[in-house]
Amino acid sequence: MCGIVGYVGSNDAVDFLIAGLSKLEYRGYDSVGLSVFDHETILTRKTKGRVDDLRKVLTSRPLHSATLGIGHTRWATHGEPSDLNSHPHGNFRVSIVHNGIIENYRQIKERMIRKGYSFSSETDTETIAKCLDYYMVQKGEPLKAISKVIEKLEGSYALGILIKDTPDTLYAIRKDSPLLIGLGDHENYIASDMTALLKYTKRYYLLEEGEIAIITKDSVRIVDCEDFLEITKEEHYADWDEESAEKGGYPHFMLKEIHEQPDAFRRTITPRIIRNTISFERDNLDDRTLASIRKFYIVACGTAMHAGMIGKSLIERYARTPCDVVIASEFRYQDPIFQDGDCVLIISQSGETADSLAALRLAKQAGVMTLAIVNVVGSSIAREADFVIQTIGGLEIAVASTKAYYMQLSILYLLAFKLAALHDLLSSQELADLLHDFQHMEDVARDMLNQSGNDQYLASLYQGVKSMFFIGRGLDYGLALESSLKMKEISYIHCEAYPAGELKHGTISLITEDSMVIALASSKAIVEKTISNIKEVKARKATVLLVVRDDVEVAEDAYNQKLTLPSYPDVFMPLIEIIPMQLLAYYMAVLKGNDVDKPRNLAKSVTVE
């Protein structure tokens, strides 16, 4: 969960490294650093804090004439954020930056200590640097030394490497953690993702496991790590533009991405709705394959898992196909019982989520069909899954996911309706009617965004709240989980989410006059049940914000404030309800003065287990 950049060319490496690290700060922002060749000497500058802190270090201790370098912005895993634990790590012979976790670093460290090495940091990364230095001394040849290091490592890694003996060359390797090679004119790059490169190039290679990249300003050579035989790579082209990685006049990426949801929704569903039917042919997913699925394991983490919970309800309700939703980090350890016709559906914004990737690989080893919903085409999950449905939402940079969640939901709606039609559970007219209402959600979403003043007002009322409970039934429970996560991620308010009917089975003991309850009641079919639960907490003197359809009458003594939603069929209410919940969390965080796009202790792409 870190950001890596590297540059080799004729221009100032430091300028690129600082600019690239700024773009990747959403991947980690508790410490930062860089190493460059300065007159054939490796020089390093690093610090606890953010890129702006590194700029201050460079002002007091400048670097000059560097045309080759590596940089890193960190989300701490081993060792607290500090100057010493910041990357890069190394010595006068080697310098490396690392994204991932080395699981056997203690054994390597003990071995290196026996070889006479000492350590100054608490990181697993320093062990890689010392190991590489040792093999450079033993082998005297970079590729052989790197290959020997790879043999020793267990875990995940993406590495950018400088070696003193080759002051014109940048090396890169990866396993599980992402790393791209950007292709320029008389300059080349490495980066954890394309956001760091869009200003400079849109051409890139995908580095695969077992490959070593040898990069100079005029060439990129990729070899296998065993025999060093050259590998021919397919060149890719990024269809994102640099503007998509900018705020576009919004104060935060999160607010921009919330407002991008209607357009992203349209881009995602339009190619897949053809003459009142649904087709996944553009995703190379034919009807016969879909119809053969007898059970889904929906596997995801965090926000993607919450989308999966809504997806489970939709698929079981419309297609009558069983679904289990499993947290990805638990999936491998449950020893799942697979049968013919099972499908493991992986949902991930980045396509690099380590736990989800591990679950996918487990399913593939078991011979089970794998289907992925991802936003990044060239990601590890997208490359390894049997079938991929891409959300067409564009870049999402804010750590707290909003737009990706909306896109994941939109695909899950289409998947549920498609399966229902394939199983003859929806007539052609019923499907056409559903799709008509579904497509109209784009306009409804715009209307909800135009009413953001309501959310600002409510945030101003409740910004001092210390603890919140989100409750709801049915689809509203899934929304409660995601709404609670958004609130706690960026406002740092303690939040919990419960099925409304479960509250009285123990949790209601926590409700006092200091409690805030946000009650989601968008489902007309069960709204009266939810209202009864709301009255239970109101009777305990809790402050209640009721989120309810505008066609439902509720006695005023059942709530303190009410946020009304336009009334549509129950099945589509999650697409309406989530927008004010995202905005409420956003404005609460803004009023508290929090860093909305980079909340504490979090990183965007969780590439470690």
pLDDT digits (tens, 9 = 90+) for 270-318: 999 999 999 999 999 999 999 999 999 999 999 999 999 999 999 999 9
pLDDT at 217 over 90: yes
pLDDT at 264 over 90: yes
Q: Binning pLDDT at 50, 70 and 90, where does residue 92 land?
A: confident
Instruction: Read off the pLDDT of residues 12-54 as tens digits, 9 standing for 90 and up.
Output: 999 999 999 988 887 777 889 999 998 788 999 999 988 889 9
Q: Binning pLDDT at 50, 70 and 90, where does residue 603 land?
A: low
The question of whether 2 is a catalytic residue gets the answer: yes
Which structure tokens are listed for 495?
């939040």
pLDDT given at position 172: 96
Q: Binning pLDDT at 50, 70 and 90, where does residue 532 land?
A: confident
pLDDT at 589 over 60: yes
Is residue 400 classed as helix, strand or coil in its secondary structure? coil
pLDDT at 516 over 90: no
pLDDT given at position 505: 73
Distances (CA, A) of 134 to 122, 126, 289, 389, 586: 19, 12, 52, 45, 49
Q: Binning pLDDT at 50, 70 and 90, where does residue 78 land?
A: low
pLDDT at 506 over 80: no
Q: Binning pLDDT at 50, 70 and 90, where does residue 351 land?
A: confident
- Average pLDDT of span 493-522: 82
Mean pLDDT, the chain, rounded, equals 90
Question: Are 355 and 346 a contacting pair, CB within 8 Å?
Answer: no
The question of whether 495 is a catalytic residue gets the answer: no
Residue percentage of the chain with pLDDT more than 70: 96
Question: Are 160 and 3 a contacting pair, CB within 8 Å?
Answer: no
Q: Which helix (H) or strand (E) holds 41?
A: strand 41-48
Q: Which helix (H) or strand (E) holds 527?
A: helix 527-538
Q: Binning pLDDT at 50, 70 and 90, where does residue 490 land?
A: very high
Of 33-37, 162-166, 378-382, least confident by mean pLDDT is: 378-382
Which structure tokens are listed for 357?
């990737």
pLDDT at 575 over 80: yes
What are the structural domain ranges in the chain? 3-244, 247-439, 450-599
pLDDT given at position 10: 93
- Average pLDDT of span 148-155: 91
Say if 3-244 and 450-599 have the same CATH topology: no
Q: How far apart are CA 570 and CA 550, in angstroms?
A: 13
Q: How far apart are CA 308 and CA 296, in angstroms?
A: 11
Q: How far apart are CA 416 and CA 419, in angstroms?
A: 5
- Average pLDDT of span 191-214: 91
Domain 247-439, CATH among 3.40.50.300, 3.30.450.20, 3.40.50.10490, 3.30.9.10: 3.40.50.10490
pLDDT given at position 417: 98
Which structure tokens are listed for 131?
């190991």
Q: How far apart are CA 567 and CA 523, in angstroms?
A: 9
Residue percentage of the chain with pLDDT more than 90: 63
- Average pLDDT of span 414-432: 97
Q: How far apart are CA 508 and CA 218, in angstroms?
A: 66
Q: Which CATH class is domain 450-599?
A: alpha beta
- Beta 516-521 vs 543-549: how paired, if at all? parallel
Question: Are 84 and 96 a contacting pair, CB within 8 Å?
Answer: no
Instruction: Read off the pLDDT of residues 49-77 as tens digits, 9 standing for 90 and up.
Output: 888 899 999 899 988 779 999 999 877 67
pLDDT given at position 243: 64
Instruction: Read off the pLDDT of residues 244-256 as tens digits, 9 standing for 90 and up.
Output: 667 778 899 999 9
Crossing angle of helices 573-591 and 452-462, rounded to 10°: 50
Q: Which CATH class is domain 3-244?
A: alpha beta
pLDDT at 507 over 70: yes
pLDDT given at position 187: 96
- Average pLDDT of span 94-98: 94
Question: Are 1 and 77 a contacting pair, CB within 8 Å?
Answer: yes
pLDDT given at position 308: 97
Tokens 């700060």, located at residue: 25
Please choose, from the candidates 326, 298, 358, the residue with its C-alpha nearest in 3D space to the C-alpha of residue 607: 358
Is residue 469 classed as helix, strand or coil in its secondary structure? strand
Task: Name the burial class of residue 199, with classes exposed (0-12), middle (13-18) and buried (19+) by CB atoms within 10 angstroms of its CB.
Answer: middle
pLDDT given at position 323: 97
Which CB contacts under 8 angstroms, 24+ apart, belong to 145-149? 146/171, 146/173, 146/212, 146/225, 147/212, 147/225, 147/226, 147/228
Is residue 518 classed as helix, strand or coil in its secondary structure? strand
pLDDT given at position 606: 58
pLDDT given at position 241: 66
pLDDT given at position 219: 95
pLDDT given at position 514: 78
